[in-house]
Amino acid sequence: MGDTDKAGIVYYPNYFKWFDIAGHQFFRSCDLAPSKLEAERQIIVPLLDARCSFEKPLLYDDVITIQTTVEEINNKTIKLRHEVYNGDVRTGHGYELRGWVNQTADQIKAVPIPADVIAILNEDIQSDQRQSRTPFNA
Ligand SMILES: CC(C)(COP(=O)(O)OP(=O)(O)OC[C@H]1O[C@@H](n2cnc3c(N)ncnc32)[C@H](O)[C@@H]1OP(=O)(O)O)[C@@H](O)C(=O)NCCC(=O)NCCSC(=O)c1ccc(O)cc1
């Protein structure tokens, strides 16, 4: 509701907010919750790059679903692909590139993604099982 303008059309920055929420949901669904990464590994996953293509309008009262999958695993970054659906109709898609970054009192530095995390993320690439589907009200 609060995500639309007076005419009832969704305001575009909301897509990036939904991407952020869906990305966090995705990491939680893989047992890689950002709060856990920070507490247990001193790792944060800041956004380095993002993109969105807007294909169809979204209106007041539409209930949307975000489908999130791993698009790329690089040395120190992960690219998540997000697709936004209103029912069966895709209204937009894009990506978030997140860094795998060690944060200590002294420094913030990207570091190589460890093998156990690569294995978890590869499972997502190879199967449809771990796609996070997050419903929102536009
Ligand atoms: C994250 C950084 C410290 C990494 O810097 P460095 O340690 O020098 O790493 P590098 O420059 O070598 O880059 C590491 C990798 O990222 C890639 N990279 C870095 N920046 C970019 C951009 N802008 N686009 C694409 N790729 C990039 C780079 O190519 C390297 O890739 P691979 O090695 O091939 O995997 C620095 O890039 C930075 O501070 N960037 C700004 C991040 C930021 O402010 N984002 C805005 C939102 S903040 C946020 O999202 C957040 C903050 C805190 C949290 O707890 C959670 C989230």
pLDDT of the residue at 56: 94
109 vs 94: CA distance, rounded Å: 26
Domain at 13-137: CATH architecture: Roll (3.10)
ipTM: 0.95
Q: What distance in angstroms lies between residue 47's CA and the mean position of ligand 1's atoms? A: 7
Cα separation values, 100 from 6, 38, 112, 125, Å: 39, 11, 7, 18
The per-residue pLDDT for range 3-55, each reduced to its tens digit, is: 778 777 888 999 999 999 999 999 999 999 999 999 999 999 999 999 999 99
Pocket, ligand 1, Cβ cutoff 6 A: 44-49, 74-77, 97, 99, 101, 108-110
Q: What distance in angstroms lies between residue 68's CA and the mean position of ligand 1's atoms? A: 21
Q: Which residue type, as a one-letter code, is found at position 64?
A: I
Which residue's CA is the closest to the ligand 1 atom numbered 12? Answer: 110
Arithmetic mean of pLDDT over the chain: 90
Q: Which atom of ligand 1 is nearest to the CA of 77?
A: 35
Residue 120, both tokens = 């978890």
